[in-house]
Amino acid sequence: MAATEFRTGVIDAVQCYKEAWEMIKPQYWLIFAIVLVGMLVGGIVPLILIGPMMVGIYFCLFDLYDRKPVDFGRLFKGFDMFLPSFLLSLVIMLPVLLMVVMIYVPMIGFAVAGQRMDESELIAFLAVTVGIELVFAVIMVCIHTLVIFSFPLIADRRLGAWQAVVTSARAVKANMKGVIGLFLVGFVVVLVGYMMLCVGLYLVLPLILAANAVAYRKVFPAMNPGYSAPPPPNVYQGI
């Protein structure tokens, strides 16, 4: 299979989360530590470090999926793909930074000019501001949806940043129903995490990333001809 070939209509969101949980459950705390350290290191200088850390996390998740020993040190092998992961981070985070600017600039303008506006002008100003923010929010969601497979593609297929973005977008469009389901289930999982005094959000993050890895592997099967798919989820039970 070529690096950019993929399957269509193969994502069952609920099943992906079930398989992901059964996959990480035997080594949950190791995966939790890998994800936590990856996010903490990536958060030091987000625009520069988060890309390599995400690639390193997926290195570890793919090792787990392929039933290979999971080595914590693999997390830092993401730096081997520094340039494409860094460029991908720019693609993903620049719209976020633009969104922040679009939020705070109107707020500053409102604070400066608010007292000089009458009620109708204030309402119009707020309506335009909210409208712009909603448009950017929709654009960001669309961008983040289309690039969901980009970091895994860099980790798994060693693609460049732009090729990973384009390939991910094509694969998402071909599996849109399943990807939307993946986001919806992930949203529910995040809500459950928030209900656990917000601390639970960190506890469910490994599951969310593992589910993305499982969904990715269904769309982009392993290129190793000697690879065999992982056993059904019930095989992991009792381990």
Residue 231 lies in a domain: yes
Task: Rounding to the nearest 10 degrees, give the CA dihedral for residues 227, 228, 229, 233.
Answer: -130
pLDDT digits (tens, 9 = 90+) for 48-59: 999 999 999 999
Amino acid 133: pLDDT: 72
123: containing domain: 13-236
pLDDT digits (tens, 9 = 90+) for 107-161: 666 666 656 666 676 677 777 777 777 777 777 778 778 899 999 999 999 999 9
Which of 4-18, 152-166, 186-200 shows the lowest mean pLDDT across its residues? 186-200
Supply 140's token pair.
């960001």
Residue type, 193: G
Q: How far apart are CA 57 and CA 205, in angstroms?
A: 12
Residue 2 lies in a domain: no
Residue 4 lies in a domain: no
Decide: pTM greater than 0.75: yes
What's CA 12's distance to the chain center, in Å? Answer: 17
Residue 7 lies in a domain: no
Please say whether the beta carbons of 164 and 84 come within 8 A. yes
pLDDT digits (tens, 9 = 90+) for 49-106: 999 999 999 999 999 999 999 999 999 999 999 999 999 999 888 877 777 776 676 6
Q: How many domains does the structure of the chain reveal?
A: 1
Residue 5 lies in a domain: no
